[in-house]
Amino acid sequence: MEWYIVLSILVVSLSFFLFLGLPVAFSLGFLSIICALVFWPGTTGLYGVALAGYGHMGNYTLVCVPLFILMAQLVMHSRMGTDSYEVADRFLRRLPGGLGMTSAVFGAIFGAVCGASTAGTATVGLLSLPEMIKREYQAGMSGAIVAFSGALSILIPPSVILILYGTLANESIGALFAGGIIPGILMTVLALAYIFIRVLIDPDVAPRDDVRFTWKEKFASLSKVWSLLTVIFILLFTIYTGVATPTEASAIACLAVFIIAFVKKTLDVKTTRKALLHTVKTTAMIGWIIIGATSFGYVIIYSGCAAELTDFVVSLPLPTTAVVMILMLGFLIMGMFLDPAAIVMMTTPIILPILTALEIDTLWFGILMAVNMCAGNISPPMGLNLYIVKGLVPDKIKLAELFKAAVPFIILDIVTIGLIMIFPEIVTWLPSLIV
Amino acid sequence: PNMAQCKTYRLKFQMAWHTQHPQYKAYKEFIKRVKEASNGKLKFTVFPASQLIGRNEALDGLKSGTIDMLAGCGTYYHGMVPEGDVDWLPYISLNNREKFWDYMNNDQGGKAGEFHDIIYNAYLEKANAVWLTNIICGSSGIIGRGNTEYNTMESLKNIKLRAAGGVSTRVAKAWGACPVTMATGEIYPALQRGTVDALIFYAYGLKDYKFFEVAKTFSTPPVFTWADDLWINKRALERLPEDLRNTLVTVSREWGHWASVEYWPEYEAENEKWCRENGVKFVSMDNENIEKSKKMLEQVWDWYAKESPECERLVDLIKTEQKTWTALKKDSGLEKIAGLQ
Amino acid sequence: MMNKNKGLTRIMDGIASFDEKLAEIAGWIVVLMMLTISYDVVMRYAFNSPTTWSFEVNRYMLIMVVFIGAAWTLPAGGHVTVDIATERIPERKRIVLDIITSFMAGTYVLIFLIQSVVFTYDALEHNVRSTEYLAWPLWPIRAFLVVGAALLFLEYILRIVRNFSQLSQTHEEK
Ligand code: NA
Ligand code: NA
């Protein structure tokens, strides 16, 4: 059977299972199991396909996922989160969509200490979603802002995606990290602009009120954020002075939150228990999605569909810019269905010879790819971040709303891709100063 | 010619190596040789970079038949088949790359082939895998952060030395360094910011992982030379007609020898040149320090010998065998190198 | 009918509270991860004597958290679903659909369970150990896959049974 027929069948089946209401993790798993029986002789495929995710689960860099979630849970329950939102509120309440803007900025700052979009989204979401919902922000919009802000973690260094790409493409990781900074800031600014304009046009999205705070009140509130600032400082300090790796820093920051909460007496056993249960729930959910996605990735790669699709895309007789645009389109489509790390792992080795042949700068292309993966993380039907957002507040947000609200943010990602294609200096300028 | 003779066979072949990895390039040659020798009747679908099944679970996948062929380091599967990890012992093939390969891959049976047979049988019994060949690859030495040189035993004392578990962590401990474990992806920033002082790593990691940007020294001689192995699932091999089976076995061996004694030494020389051009300084230990290091690392050999009765036998065999190499070297007047044994 | 339902309810409550206890244990494992990693960093940075076990043990603890927390995550509504279609249809149809999807998920989890048993038994039979420094036997760690998948499978069985019972109730009401 032709590869595109196989691929279509897989995509349609997956969409159908999801539509039926089968959980994402098990839709991926169930489809992979069927494929294991079809593609492999007898039952020989079942073992490898079912257990494909085990290796990922034992990956040390994922250890930071429950720790960042727990940290965010504790920040939320120990009033550190609400305190800092109160401050943001005092400064930004009069701005259209102020809390949404705060989430985007916080997402960018948190991205500077977090390497994976899952932990980023969970943290930003835990801190900001309850507040935005409390202030009657439109649920879909709030969720989309969080999903977008969480995705900034894979563009702003440190980034697991960039490390994977740099290793495979033989590109300097230091240069890649530097290259991600300006595009990350650019995307944050674009998001702020979009929220601002959107709320001006459609005020119901984010209700404003006319309560005015004096400058005295604004600055007095600053005393409330010292605890959160301390945590962020500890995170940045331990990482950038070499005391600990980013994974280890997640544990230290988490411990710092525990200690601060203990000193301030804002955490009791009951709340801790609640935070722990929530951490386990989110970690198990993310874990099973990784298991399902790995199995599905296994099947797609084994079937040869992934390689054929890439071959097809790169073999078209077109100018370089058009090829890059087509690659970006291909990544966007793949991003709708697959895990970003899986996409990078599977396509980089195949695309690299083409980049070399067409003399495309691999640093520039790597950042384009990372921006694209940000879009993939928030694109339906398989945008991981959207499901994490949904998982954080299952009763408050409907997926249909979330999918709809995510579209403008995907367009922001595409605009960023366009800007980087027209002005490569956005990526290359900062690394050129360092190397 | 009947149908069976015209039929082509395709094997699903996973490698731990990504497409830019030097060992992947060696496997390109392997695939070319198999194609020529089998008149195109034996083909591979290659999955680089552990694309299908995680690196550490790949031997399990091979065992169950989810993949047909596997290339990766035997050391990844030390916990399953410790016998296959013998080639990573400190200094085991130092200055005797070819002799060691010939000894390890001697499939003629009997007394001379005992070393090979122990490993071969261990893979067959524990992993349902036929061990096709072993490839002695790149030098693993000490990459030092900044411009710090680690060429004496004294300089290694109490430093934070990143080691990848298994043998290398034990080496670090035996030297009196503080072994630090961290994911490969975290090494670069850790070197940059001083979370670690140095690491035990292969020399081309300087280029491959861009460590040369933040670490400027590489210390020789290699404490061990990392090695790759090639296996095929037993049933997958049995499914092939006899002529193809023989072709695959023969080509694997010849190619393994070529990769170990021609390809890798050449690649290492090239890599060293590249590293020097990019500001990396290659420092070496003097004989006194090498002897000291060997003495310190005897405990690593002792640890390995205790892994299983077969491991103990392997250690006995190789120690005896090494003496004959020394004798030969002395005969040919290479006392200086023999001193490194 | 009523008695049977009561018995069923009791069993289900029992399992639910057991799974929640496990999830709570998993939560304390996360705290243990936090403490051990912090300890390792302090020992390395301040005392220049990092542990040789933290890296490996924390990876095992992550596996434990994911698997022993998996069963409770289902009734707790943690496994995300696409609710575009399901939130619009009448209750009876939704129950039928839930039975179908539970069968699908249950089938997957059962196959995962069987393969995990093979995986674990293999480690036990051949004394497979970790390839890293600790060289621990791997079967107890892999056994968490078996336990987690078994409990999750049980949760799905209960969910199917409960759905059928609800279905017969709504039928009687008619
Ligand atoms: Na980041
Ligand atoms: Na996506």
- Ion ligand 2: residue ranges with CB closer than 5 A: A 335-336, 376, 379, 382-383
Chain A interface mutation, best of C33, C40, C73, highest count of A Cβ atoms under 10 Å: C73
Distance CA B7, CA B308 (A): 43
* Residue with more model confidence, B295 or C173: B295
Chain C interface mutation, best of A34, A270, A280, highest count of C Cβ atoms under 10 Å: A280
Q: Is the pLDDT of residue B338 over 50?
A: no
Residue type, A32: S
pLDDT the model gives residue B327: 59
Six-digit token string for A277: 């249960």
**b/e sequence B186-207, b meaning 16+ C-beta within 10 Å:** bbbbbbbbebbbbbbbbbbbbb
Range among A297-311, A390-404, B231-245 with highest mean pLDDT value: B231-245
Tell me which chain C residues have a C-beta less than 8 angstroms from the C-beta of B170: 133
Q: Measured between CB atoms, does B158 come within 8 Å of chain C? A: yes
Name the burial class of residue B109, with classes exposed (0-12), middle (13-18) and buried (19+) by CB atoms within 10 angstroms of its CB.
exposed
Q: How far is the CA of A373 from the centre of ligand 2 (A)?
A: 8
- The kind and range of the H/E element at B70 are strand B69-72
Condensed to tens digits (0 to 9), the pLDDT of residues C70-105 reads 999 888 877 767 666 676 788 888 899 999 999 999
Chain A interface mutation, best of C47, C51, C53, C62, highest count of A Cβ atoms under 10 Å: C62
Task: For chain B, list the contacting chains (3+ Cβ pairs, <8 Å).
Answer: A, C
Cis status of the peptide bond prior to B222, with omega within 30 of 0: no
pLDDT the model gives residue C37: 95
Tell me which chain A residues have a C-beta less than 8 angstroms from the C-beta of B180: none
Condensed to tens digits (0 to 9), the pLDDT of residues B214-255 reads 999 999 999 999 999 999 999 999 999 999 999 999 999 999
pLDDT the model gives residue C104: 96
First vs last Cα of chain B: how many Å apart? 55
pLDDT band at residue A93 using 50, 70 and 90 as cut-offs: low
Closest residue of chain A to B186, computed from CA coordinates: A245
CB atoms within 10 A of CB B245: 16
Distance CA A97, CA A327 (A): 35
pLDDT the model gives residue A345: 66
Give the domain range for residue A215.
3-434
pLDDT band at residue C165 using 50, 70 and 90 as cut-offs: confident
C-alpha distance from C53 to closest chain B C-alpha (Å): 9
Closest listed residue to residue A413, CA positions, set A383, A380, A373, A381: A373
* Structural domains in chain A (count): 1
Task: For chain A, list the contacting chains (3+ Cβ pairs, <8 Å).
Answer: B, C
C-alpha distance from C128 to closest chain A C-alpha (Å): 15
pLDDT band at residue A159 using 50, 70 and 90 as cut-offs: confident
Q: Is the pLDDT of residue A302 over 90?
A: no
C-alpha distance from A213 to closest chain C C-alpha (Å): 39
Q: How far is the CA of A161 from the centre of ligand 2 (A)?
A: 14
pLDDT band at residue A82 using 50, 70 and 90 as cut-offs: low
C-alpha distance from C99 to closest chain B C-alpha (Å): 32
Q: How far is the CA of A343 from the centre of ligand 2 (A)?
A: 10
Which has the minimum average pLDDT: A186-195, A282-291, B140-149, B291-300?
A282-291
Condensed to tens digits (0 to 9), the pLDDT of residues A322-353 reads 889 988 998 888 787 666 766 776 677 667 76
A406 alpha carbon, closest ligand: 2
First vs last Cα of chain C: how many Å apart? 16
Question: CA torsion C61→B165→B193→A65, rounded to 10°?
Answer: -20
Cβ pairs bridging A and B (under 8 Å) = 111
pLDDT the model gives residue B87: 92
Chain B interface mutation, best of A54, A302, A351, highest count of B Cβ atoms under 10 Å: A302
Six-digit token string for B189: 């920033």
Condensed to tens digits (0 to 9), the pLDDT of residues B32-55 reads 999 999 999 999 999 887 877 878
Q: Is the distance from CB of B341 to CB of B94 less than 8 angstroms?
A: yes
Q: Is the pLDDT of residue B325 over 80?
A: yes
Task: For chain C, list the contacting chains (3+ Cβ pairs, <8 Å).
Answer: A, B
Distance CA A244, CA A51 (A): 32
pLDDT > 90: percent of chain A? 22
Six-digit token string for B43: 């083909």
Six-digit token string for B266: 């050449």
Q: How far is the CA of C82 from the centre of ligand 2 (A)?
A: 14
Tell me which chain C residues have a C-beta less than 8 angstroms from the C-beta of B173: 52
> Could you tell me the pTM of the whole model?
0.81
pLDDT band at residue B340 using 50, 70 and 90 as cut-offs: very low
Helix, strand, coil percent values for chain A (each to nearest 5): 80, 0, 20
Distance CA A314, CA A431 (A): 28
pLDDT the model gives residue A330: 85
Which has the minimum average pLDDT: A142-151, B52-61, B222-231, B257-266?
B52-61
pLDDT band at residue B153 using 50, 70 and 90 as cut-offs: very high
Closest residue of chain C to A388, computed from CA coordinates: C80
pLDDT band at residue B5 using 50, 70 and 90 as cut-offs: low
Q: Is the pLDDT of residue B286 over 50?
A: yes
Q: In sequence order, what are the residues at sequence separation of 6 or more whose Cβ sits closer than 8 angstroms to the Cβ of residue B129?
A: B59, B62, B63, B70, B123, B231, B232, B233, B234
Condensed to tens digits (0 to 9), the pLDDT of residues A314-324 reads 777 888 888 89
Q: Is the distance from CB of C137 to CB of C123 less than 8 angstroms?
A: yes
Q: Is the pLDDT of residue C3 over 70?
A: no
Q: Is the pLDDT of residue A237 over 70?
A: yes
Beta strands B281-284 and B198-202: pairing type?
A: unpaired
* Residue with more model confidence, A132 or C6: A132
Average pLDDT value for residue range C128-146: 90
pLDDT the model gives residue B272: 94
pLDDT the model gives residue A435: 46
C-alpha distance from C3 to closest chain A C-alpha (Å): 31
- CB–CB contact A63 C35 (8 Å): no
C-alpha distance from C28 to closest chain A C-alpha (Å): 7
Q: In sequence order, what are the residues at sequence separation of 6 or more whose Cβ sits closer than 8 angstroms to the Cβ of residue A311?
A: A350
Average model confidence (pLDDT) across chain A: 83
Tell me which chain B residues have a C-beta less than 8 angstroms from the C-beta of A52: 52-54
* CA angle A67–A72–A75, rounded 5-degree value: 125
**b/e sequence A55-66, b meaning 16+ C-beta within 10 Å:** bbbbbbbbbbbb
- The kind and range of the H/E element at A331 are helix A320-337
Q: Measured between CB atoms, does C65 come within 8 Å of chain A? A: yes
